[in-house]
Amino acid sequence: MLLDEKLTAAKYHLQRKKLVRETIQRRELSLNNLESLYLQIVESKQTIDVVQAMSAGTAALKHLLAADLKIDNVDKVMEDMQDAMADAKEVNDAVSQPVNSPDVVIDDDEIEMELEELIAIEKEKQLASLPTISTDDGSLEASLSGLNLNDKDTEGAERTEKTKQTASLQAA
């Protein structure tokens, strides 16, 4: 009998446990449905806010376009800007023209001669700054003969010839 009472109590508790589980599952489904509904409400509110912002932006843009930004106005502004830039170019060109007074006569031949004189002076300065080599005593030839040059050394022979030419130019 004690065993029967325990079996009955166990069945009762198992049934109750099953009912509680089912109730919990239904509550979880209801909670999920409520959460989904809440997310849809929030998303709908955000969509409304976005649409209202787009509507306000569109209205503001239409207002600006209607008031100031008509294609005729833009074309007029662009033409005015091109005219102003052309005027500025004309002024710059006029200002950059050389001004010759009637008292001043520029002789191109005189300028060419002066330029040639300056070039000649500069060449003389460059030649004066080069070191001098004396070839009178034969020391250059003695130095070159000690270099042990053979007939196959054409590069060395070319250098020797250039050295002799430079020395003769400096001596002149």
Question: 157 Cβ partners below 8 Å, 6+ apart?
Answer: 149
- 124 vs 160, higher pLDDT: 124
Residue with tokens 């969509």: 47
Give the pLDDT confidence score for residue 20 in this predicted structure: 94
On whether residue 43 sits in a domain, the answer given is yes
CB 110 within 8 A of CB 118: no
This prediction has a pTM of: 0.36
Please indicate, yes or no, if residue 22 is contained in any of the structural domains: yes
Provide the residue type at 104 as one letter. Answer: V
**Dihedrals phi, psi of 100, to nearest 5 degrees:** -110, 125
96 domain residue, yes or no: no
Query: Is residue 73 included in any domain, yes or no?
Result: yes
- Asked if the structure places residue 111 within a domain, the reply is no
Residue 149, pLDDT above cutoff 70: no
45 within some domain:
yes
pLDDT (0 to 100) of residue 72: 77
Number of domains in the chain: 1
In a domain, 148, yes or no: no
- pLDDT tens digits for range 75-123: 888 899 999 999 999 888 888 877 666 666 677 888 889 989 999 999 8
160 pLDDT band, cuts 50/70/90, is low
SS3 at position 137: coil
- Residue 134 belongs to a domain: no
The C-alpha atoms of residue 110 and residue 113 are separated, in whole angstroms, by 5
List the domain range (segments joined by +) for residue 66: 2-91
Angle at 114 between CA 108 and CA 119, to 5 degrees: 125
Backbone dihedral region for residue 35 (phi beyond 0: left; psi -120 to 50: alpha; all else: beta): alpha
- Cβ neighbours, 10 Å, residue 58: 10
